[in-house]
Each structure stands twice: as structure tokens, then as C-alpha cells.
Amino acid sequence: MTTAYTADSIKVLKGLDGVRMRPAMYVQGGTGVDGYHQLLTEIIDNAVDEALAGHADEIEVVLEKDGSAAVSDNGRGIPVGIMASEGKPAIEVIFTQLHAGGKFDSESYKVSGGLHGVGSSVVNALSTYLQADVWQNGIKHRIRFERGEVVEPVHEIGAAPKGHSGSKVSFRPDPAIFKDVPDGFDHARMKRRLKELAYLTGGVKIILEDHRHTEVRRDVFHETGGVAAFAESLVRDEKRLYPEAIRIGDSVTIDQDGKPETIEVEVGLLHTHGYGQTILTYANLITNRDGGTHLTGFKTAYTRVLNTYAKNKNLLKKGEATPTGDDYLEGIACVISVKLGDPQFESQAKVKLLNPEAQSAVQSVVYERLTELLEENPKTGKTIIEKAASAARAREAARKARDLVRRANPLENDELPGKLADCQSQDPAVSEIYIVEGDSAGGSAKQGRERRFQAILPLRGKILNVEKANLGKILKNAEIRAMIAAIGAGVEGTGDDAHFDLADVRYHRIIIMTDADVDGSHIRTLLLTFFYRYMRPLIDAGYLYIAQPPLYGVKIGRQKEMQYLFDEAALQKVLKEHRGKNIEIQRFKGLGEMNPEQLWTTTMDPESRVLLRVTIDDMLEASETFEMLMGTEVPPRREFIEDNAHKARLDL
Ligand code: 1YM
């Protein structure tokens, strides 16, 4: 990775033409919020690469009031020398020509994510200005561009502080291109990514400063503990089965078409009292939501080591169910990170890693290191096997409980839960089910609905918190059984016989309808948690929605029609616009206070209702969110629920 770089070894393939005309072709995420952030990510990735190559140990990101961002590192500095082939300074080529980067030479490649080397010039092309400062050999250099064109060629602007080298890139995404991004860089999103990078780089100090508020916000991430510390950060102390995460790290050199290639493998693993599993996978610091070969390699080795260990140490009781691979995974928090030369992904979104060599590398490293670690730590080994044995017992109990649920064939109407008012349509593509909080709202919804395609399932009170119970207990809960039977596709879960079949889902719109208050938010969260843990394909398919009941109904002056308002801000606006005037305000404390006709017009009529589709963009965030929402700390939970109760889109 530390191949010496001379300015003229950079390959130049193409000019910048067209990037401004067709930005979406060059930026993953297009000209929306994702593409906008991708610009900053790209510049950060260059700094991260310099750190991973061992030349920098500090990176700073500053968000400015004018919408610009600045990224700096203390590496070697972007090369400013003249490139023989181009007759231009390398830095100018890097920022003005597509595909200028060392990444296409097999021996010098980019480790972190980004746009595969087209990045720097694309960022430049799509920015109102971009300025790069470089400290090198005692001199400070500067180059400046506007909308991709050089306006100040590289020149010396002074001396560098003694012994200091590095780069600083400041730029402002062009609002003319990113028209739909009024809010600039998202603080929370950047913070999360930088924190993640700090763990994944294991020791690079990463600073985030936000200058957009009266008080400067500053976060410093310095995570010397690597992915093991990352795994620990996912689990509160009292939930751990042992205090410190198991850390596995090694590299494997293989022969790749006659050339040696080194694959670095790092795994952090911690077992908890919980029942779910959180496994985060990364290839070259890019998150892979759907896992891939590294995950397969991990699971194979992990199960094999534990099976062998349990057998050799006689840790399983005779006559009891032997743990399966899934039993061993129950309650784990795990972070897997691999770094390899030429990562291949299933799609542009890089959600799944495909390289077979990653599988064999992870498998052999985990096999060897985990075997050693268990020999050295017999107490931890015993704890892990006991946890898996108890998962196996729970799985057996769950199977018995599930058989009871299965016996009710959900396709035959008389076997459906008694409380369900089913729709007439048998076609899932047009059928909807409203899962409604409380019997009284359920009653209004039943009267107000369009029965041809809308089914209503009222739930009584709070449903079980599935984060705190195992599948056996969950399947005994009446409200949950009613949902499973109505939806008709089973449940996911640990154990080979537990499965959810998307093809059997009876409604392609499953709509959660709860009151617009804190209790309603809580019930909604419990339901989301249940769907996330046990019917996840439903969310991936885009079948899960949240209804938006109004908070207020107002009649202004002599108007006959009631106008419905969905949040406090809308009410304030109306009050301001019609100051002093004659306004009748009705506040809906719950769904039950609306009559069937009101409920239909505001919340159920496909012509006028607003539904939020539930999506999972980020596994880490989703898991953290549920952990936080369902955990024991009350204040952050309240705040989150209240802050997010009326967001236009629910990103989990
Ligand atoms: C704030 C962003 O871009 N830092 C940075 C970039 C480069 C280097 C060092 C660098 C790399 C190499 C040799 C090498 C880049 N170099 C190139 C290119 N920070 C930031 N720091 N010397 C300096 O990869 O061998 C592109 S970026 F193309 F020259 F390799």
C-alpha cells in the first residue's frame, strides 16, 4: 500500500466534460441529499487513505456557515510537482481530470470507499469553489478552482510551519446543482460516519467542528481500540456476558493471478444477554448492509470453532438439542472489517461483498485466532457455549409454540384472529391492513374504512417489548400472534425452522396507526421493533408504513369545511395568518376522538392521506436506535420520540 508515488505515474483517462451536465452519472446518490454528502465523503476518504497508508494520524472536518466544508490531514500533502505526461502540476490534474488517481495501478490502490478515484475532480466540478492548500517541503502551496475551472494555478503562498506537511481541501457544493438540499451537511450523519471511521481506522484522530451555530460544536474521535471497541460501543455494560470484546486481527497473503495480495482481517465480538444479533460488516471501510463473503467466512469458522470446542470440553448436556449456527449467533454484537485490493460488490450501493478471497481469509483468521483465544480464556468459552445451549432450548420451546400459531391457516377466513376485520379483496397487491392502537379507534376505523381493500386489526394496550423477550415468549403474546396470523407469512428468528415468507404476505401495505402522542409513539416503536427483528423482509420490500393522523382540526371564520393540521408548527402558522380573527380549534388527543368520517378523510383515504414508508438506510443506526429506544435510559428515548414523531420520512 505504501508504493512510492511519483507525479507522472498517474494515469489520465478523460476530461471533466459532462459532470456538471449529468451529475447523477458521476455521483452515487445523485443530486439529492445522499449525493451532496458523497462529495464530502470523497474528500474525507482521500485523507483516510493517507492515514491508512501510515502517513497521517489526524484528520479534521469543519462545517462552515456559508455551506462549505473543509477537510485537512497531516499527511504528505497532495503532490504539487509537474506531471511529465501532462505538463501540469499533479494537483491540478487530480482535481480537473476524471480518473486521475493512483487507484488504477494494481500496486497502488485506494483503501477507503469513495467514488473509485473519479472523486476529487467530480467534487471540484460540482462545487462553486474548491481550494486546496498543501504544506510540503517547508512551503505552503495553494490552488483554487471555481465550478471546476482553475482560477488560481498552484502557487506558493508562504512557509509551512517547521516539520509540518499535509493537505486542506475546502469546497462548497453548488446549490445550482444540489437544488433539493436546502439544509446543507447533516451534523448527525457526519458525526456518525466519522465516529465509525475512527473505529475502523483504529487510532486515527478524527475531529468534527460545526461552525454553523452560535456555539461551535466540536467532537473528537480517537478510538485506539479498533473494531473491538466498536463492538463494545454497541452494548451497554450490564448487557454484556463478559466485560471486553474478543479481538481478532491478522492478515493473509494470497497469490492472486501470480501476484501476492494481502488481505487484512479484523473482528470484534461480544456476547450479550439479548436475543437479537447485530453484525456490522465493512469492506475497505464501506459498510455492507447485506454482508457478503466476509460474513459467510466468519459464520463458517465461528460455528465450526464453537462446535469443536463444546465437544472437546464436554460442555453440552446429553439429550439436549445441539446448538445450531444461529444459536451461537444469538445475542452477539460483532463488527467485521476487511481491507483488500480490489473489492467487488453486488451493486453500486455496495451493500454486499463478493470477493471469494475475503471469505477464505476471514475464515482462516477467525478459525485460528478464535481457537487460540478460547484455549486461553476457558471462562469466556464456557459462557458462550452456555448461552448457545440456552438459545437451543428456547428454540425448541418456540417451535412448539409456533406450531400452535401455524395450525391456524391464515388463508381461511374463520381461522383469522377474531378481532380482525378483513378486507374483501384476496389480492395482496391492492390490500391494506391498518394496525390500530386501541379498541375504540379500531371501531372508528372499521366504520370509516373502504372494506373492499382495507382490513383493520385493533391492538389492545401496549404490545410486548420484543427486545426483552425470546421468540418462545413472543409467540405466546396474543397481540403478536394476531398480527402474525393476519399477515400470514410466519416470522423470522433464530432456528432453521423459523422463517418468514414474503410471498405469503396478505397485504402489501401494512400501516401502523397510533395516536399522535408520546404513548402512541411508544407503541409505534414497539411495533417497529417487532417488524424489524421478526419480519425484516417486509421492511426491505417497502410494505411497512406509518399513518399520519392530524393533531388539530380548525374552522376559520364561517368556513364549513374543517382544515386538518398535522403538527404544532402548522397550527402556529394558521394562528399567525388569521390573527384576532374567529378560529375554532379542535385538538385530537387520540384517534378515538375522531369520528369515522374524519378518520377516513384525514388518515385512511388514499386520495388525501399521508403515509410514511419505513426504510432502513443504515444497519448500525437502526440497531443503535432500537437499542436506545428500548433500553433503560429514559431521557434520550423521550427526546428521540418527540423529535422524530413528525418527520416526513422515518429513516431507521
Ligand atoms: C483533505 C484531503 O487528499 N490528502 C492526500 C491526498 C494524496 C496524498 C496525500 C498523496 C498520495 C500519494 C502520494 C500516493 C493524494 N495523492 C493523489 C495522487 N486530503 C488528501 N494526502 N503523495 C501524496 O497515493 O502515493 C491523489 S490524492 F493522485 F497523487 F496519488
- In this predicted structure, the answer to whether residue 72 has a pLDDT above a threshold of 70 is yes
CA of residue 284 to ligand 1 center, whole Å: 17
Please give the DSSP secondary-structure letter assigned to residue 522.
H
The response to whether residue 79 sits with its C-beta less than 6 Å from ligand 1 reads yes
> If you take atom 10 of ligand 1, which residue's CA is the nearest one?
78
Q: Which of 40, 48, 50 to mutate to test the pocket of ligand 1 (most atoms within 8 A of CB)?
A: 50
Q: What is the pLDDT of residue 641?
A: 47
Taken in order 113, 117, 118, 122, the sign of the CA dihedral is positive
| pLDDT tens track for 399-408 | 766 665 554 4
Q: Which of 8, 46, 71, 82 to mutate to test the pocket of ligand 1 (most atoms within 8 A of CB)?
A: 46
Highest mean pLDDT: which of 97-111, 455-469, 588-602? 588-602
CB count, 10 Å around CB of 586? 15
CA of residue 49 to ligand 1 center, whole Å: 8
| pLDDT tens track for 355-383 | 999 999 999 999 999 999 999 999 999 99
> If you take atom 25 of ligand 1, which residue's CA is the nearest one?
5
The response to whether residue 652 sits with its C-beta less than 6 Å from ligand 1 reads no
| Residue 228: its H or E element | helix 226-233
| pLDDT tens track for 245-299 | 999 999 999 988 888 999 999 999 999 988 888 899 999 999 998 999 999 999 9
CA of residue 632 to ligand 1 center, whole Å: 46
Q: Which of 78, 82, 97, 108 to mutate to test the pocket of ligand 1 (most atoms within 8 A of CB)?
A: 78
The response to whether residue 124 sits with its C-beta less than 6 Å from ligand 1 reads no
Domains and CATH numbers, the chain: 17-221 (3.30.565.10), 226-397 (3.30.230.10), 409-549+612-627 (3.40.50.670)
C-beta separation of 33 from 186 below 8 A: yes
The response to whether residue 90 sits with its C-beta less than 6 Å from ligand 1 reads yes
Give the number of the atom of ligand 1 that is nearest the alpha carbon of residue 3.
25
CA of residue 260 to ligand 1 center, whole Å: 24
Write b or e for each residue in 546-583: b if 16 or more Cβ atoms lie within 10 A of its Cβ, otherwise e. bbbbbbbbbebeeeeebebbbeeebbeebeeeeeeeeb
HEC letters along 546-560: EECCCCEEEEECCCC
C-beta separation of 493 from 534 below 8 A: yes
Cα gap 348→567, rounded to integer Å: 37
The response to whether residue 89 sits with its C-beta less than 6 Å from ligand 1 reads no
C-alpha angle 524-525-526 in degrees, rounded to nearest 5? 90
Collect all residues with Cβ–Cβ distance below 8 Å to 164 and sequence separation of at least 6.
74, 135
- Cα distance between the two ends of the chain: 36
Q: What is the pLDDT of residue 408?
A: 45
C-beta separation of 629 from 637 below 8 A: yes
In degrees to the nearest 10, what's the CA dihedral of 596, 602, 606, 612? -120
The candidate with the shortest Cα–Cα distance to 509, out of 460, 449, 572, 419, is 449
Max Cα-Cα span within the chain: 84
> If you take atom 7 of ligand 1, which residue's CA is the nearest one?
78
% pLDDT > 90, the chain? 54
CA of residue 86 to ligand 1 center, whole Å: 18
% pLDDT > 70, the chain? 85
Taken in order 299, 304, 307, 312, the sign of the CA dihedral is negative
Residue with cell 368520517: 597
Active-site residue among 290, 492, 519, 624? 519
> If you take atom 19 of ligand 1, which residue's CA is the nearest one?
47
CA of residue 74 to ligand 1 center, whole Å: 11
Chain-centre distance of CA 495, in angstroms? 25
- Amino acid, single-letter form, for residue 100: A
The response to whether residue 566 sits with its C-beta less than 6 Å from ligand 1 reads no
C-beta separation of 263 from 343 below 8 A: no
The candidate with the shortest Cα–Cα distance to 200, out of 359, 59, 106, 34, is 59
The response to whether residue 101 sits with its C-beta less than 6 Å from ligand 1 reads yes
Q: What is the pLDDT of residue 119?
A: 85
Write b or e for each residue in 284-296: b if 16 or more Cβ atoms lie within 10 A of its Cβ, otherwise e. bbbbbbbbbbbbb
- Catalytic residue at 519? yes
C-beta separation of 59 from 51 below 8 A: yes
Q: What is the pLDDT of residue 642?
A: 44
pLDDT, averaged across the chain: 85
Cα gap 28→24, rounded to integer Å: 7
- In this predicted structure, the answer to whether residue 140 has a pLDDT above a threshold of 80 is yes
CA of residue 63 to ligand 1 center, whole Å: 22
- Catalytic residue at 515? yes
Collect all residues with Cβ–Cβ distance below 8 Å to 70 and sequence separation of at least 6.
60, 61, 62, 64, 168, 169, 170
Residues in the chain: 652
The candidate with the shortest Cα–Cα distance to 573, out of 593, 590, 556, 558, is 556
Cα gap 357→337, rounded to integer Å: 14
The response to whether residue 490 sits with its C-beta less than 6 Å from ligand 1 reads no
Cα gap 14→634, rounded to integer Å: 55
CB count, 10 Å around CB of 443? 16
CB count, 10 Å around CB of 649? 10
| Residue 129: its H or E element | strand 127-136
CA of residue 207 to ligand 1 center, whole Å: 20
In degrees to the nearest 10, what's the CA dihedral of 532, 231, 392, 309? 160
- In this predicted structure, the answer to whether residue 115 has a pLDDT above a threshold of 60 is no
- Catalytic residue at 437? yes
Active-site residue among 92, 326, 327, 437? 437
CB count, 10 Å around CB of 599? 27
| pLDDT tens track for 311-331 | 999 999 888 888 999 999 999
Paired with 271 in beta bridges are 332
pLDDT, mean of residues 181-185: 89
Cα gap 373→535, rounded to integer Å: 35
Taken in order 390, 391, 396, 397, the sign of the CA dihedral is positive
The response to whether residue 288 sits with its C-beta less than 6 Å from ligand 1 reads no
| pLDDT tens track for 475-515 | 778 888 889 989 998 888 655 556 788 888 999 999 999 88
| pLDDT tens track for 552-586 | 899 888 888 888 888 888 888 888 888 768 888 88
Active-site residue among 209, 250, 517, 567? 517
| pLDDT tens track for 443-470 | 999 999 999 999 999 998 667 877 777 7
> If you take atom 29 of ligand 1, which residue's CA is the nearest one?
79
Q: What is the pLDDT of residue 293?
A: 97
CA of residue 372 to ligand 1 center, whole Å: 39
Can you spell out the DSSP letters for 254-291? EEETTEEEEEEEEEEEEEBS-SS-EEEEEETTEE-TT-
C-alpha separations of 116 from 89, 99, 194, 545 in Å: 21, 8, 19, 36
- In this predicted structure, the answer to whether residue 639 has a pLDDT above a threshold of 60 is no
The response to whether residue 102 sits with its C-beta less than 6 Å from ligand 1 reads yes
pLDDT band of 12, cuts 50, 70, 90: very low
Least confident of 8-22, 200-214, 379-393, 462-476: 8-22
Q: What is the pLDDT of residue 523?
A: 85
pLDDT band of 6, cuts 50, 70, 90: very low
Higher pLDDT, 492 or 205: 205
pLDDT, mean of residues 129-140: 98
Q: What is the pLDDT of residue 4?
A: 41
Higher pLDDT, 637 or 135: 135
CA of residue 50 to ligand 1 center, whole Å: 6
pLDDT, mean of residues 525-529: 86
Tell whether pTM > 0.85.
no
> If you take atom 8 of ligand 1, which residue's CA is the nearest one?
78
Active-site residue among 422, 515, 618, 627? 515
pLDDT band of 612, cuts 50, 70, 90: confident
In the β-sheet with 246-256, what is the strand arrangement from edge to edge?
A: 246-256, 259-271, 332-339, 278-283, 286-287
The response to whether residue 169 sits with its C-beta less than 6 Å from ligand 1 reads yes
| Residue 336: its H or E element | strand 332-339
The response to whether residue 123 sits with its C-beta less than 6 Å from ligand 1 reads no
- In this predicted structure, the answer to whether residue 146 has a pLDDT above a threshold of 90 is yes
- Catalytic residue at 504? no
pLDDT band of 15, cuts 50, 70, 90: low
C-beta separation of 577 from 543 below 8 A: no
Cα gap 474→467, rounded to integer Å: 10
